[in-house]
Chains A and B, each alone.
Chain A
């Protein structure tokens, strides 16, 4: 089983995440698509880690997961507070910096 298959799958998952960010206007779904992209990167990390026989790839997956967890917590808190002020989370309607 060669590395290329995993990298192609990773590229496809990343692309689906990018398309989701581009076409969806719901902030929560945009966040899910960002998680999808981070996961695609994780898959590439682990695949290359095995291919090179190095542990570092798996280590960086943990760092990515920690950053993803922090990002989700902050992002969802921002979404909740935006919703409190604006009664919407459609990113096209949330277009001014002043709350």
Chain B
């Protein structure tokens, strides 16, 4: 059992427990805090995978910005008192969980078997991965590719963010301001 494996199981277990806590807690604040735990554990997994920049962005954007937005809205709406009946019960819940287990089984089946005959699971790819452990993908490589080959998607992303910005302003604008 090498150190990478031990760390993987620690971070994996933490992220799974956090994820289950997200869907189990009644109060949305507890769910949001559990989601932050999951995000941090996933940042740890990204570090194990050698994606240091992705891990940093995960902590800054997800655990920082997005979760602050969630917590802000939860506190703004004062939801704690309203969410007592926030979950399905009885038969419907059972059906949902059975469907979820089926989905998990499919995902695990794909993860274990389907890769055998593909390029990802081949011997060459395994050797390449072993070589990469000594020579990981640097932030430099990401930046170079982002601003050359994928420049157009990058610019389109900025348009998406602009559209989101304008959309949010339009959505939450007070209606009586238009009268002035």
Q: Chain A interface (Cβ within 8 Å of chain B)?
A: 1-20, 22-26, 28-29, 31-33, 35-36, 39, 42-43, 46-53, 55-56, 58-59, 61-63, 65-74, 76-81, 83, 88-90
CA distance A6 to B12 in the complex (A): 9
| Cβ-defined contact, B86 with A25, below 8 A | yes
| Cβ-defined contact, A33 with B86, below 8 A | no
Q: When the two chains form the complex, which single residue of B22, B74, B146, B163 contacts A59, counting CB atoms closer than 8 Å?
A: B146
| Cβ-defined contact, A1 with B79, below 8 A | no
Residues 98-124 of B at the A interface (beta carbon under 8 Å) = 99-101, 103-104, 106-108, 110-112, 115, 119-121
Closest residue to A39 on the B side, CB-wise? B42
Residues of B within 8 A of A42 (CB): 42, 54, 58
Residues of B within 8 A of A83 (CB): 77
Residues of B within 8 A of A77 (CB): 167-168, 171-172
CA distance A15 to B23 in the complex (A): 11
Given contacts A32-B35, A65-B61, contact A49 B111 (CB under 8 A): no
CA distance A18 to B103 in the complex (A): 9
| Cβ-defined contact, A26 with B83, below 8 A | yes
Q: Output the least CB separation between A49 and chain B (Å).
A: 7
Count of chain B residues with a beta carbon within 8 Å of a chain A beta carbon: 88
Tell yes or no: B10 within 8 A of A by CB: no
Given contacts A3-B121, A76-B73, A81-B171, contact A50 B50 (CB under 8 A): yes
Determine the main DSSP class of A at the interface with B. Answer: helix
Closest residue to A22 on the B side, CB-wise? B96
CA distance A83 to B99 in the complex (A): 31
| Cβ-defined contact, A72 with B153, below 8 A | no
Q: When the two chains form the complex, which single residue of B19, B58, B96, B171 contacts A74, counting CB atoms closer than 8 Å?
A: B171
Residues of B within 8 A of A3 (CB): 115, 120-121, 129
Closest residue to A14 on the B side, CB-wise? B107
CA distance A72 to B54 in the complex (A): 19
CA distance A77 to B70 in the complex (A): 11
| Cβ-defined contact, A23 with B88, below 8 A | yes
| Cβ-defined contact, A72 with B88, below 8 A | no
| Cβ-defined contact, B54 with A61, below 8 A | yes
CA distance A11 to B100 in the complex (A): 11
| Cβ-defined contact, B111 with A58, below 8 A | no
Q: Output the least CB separation between A27 and chain B (Å).
A: 10
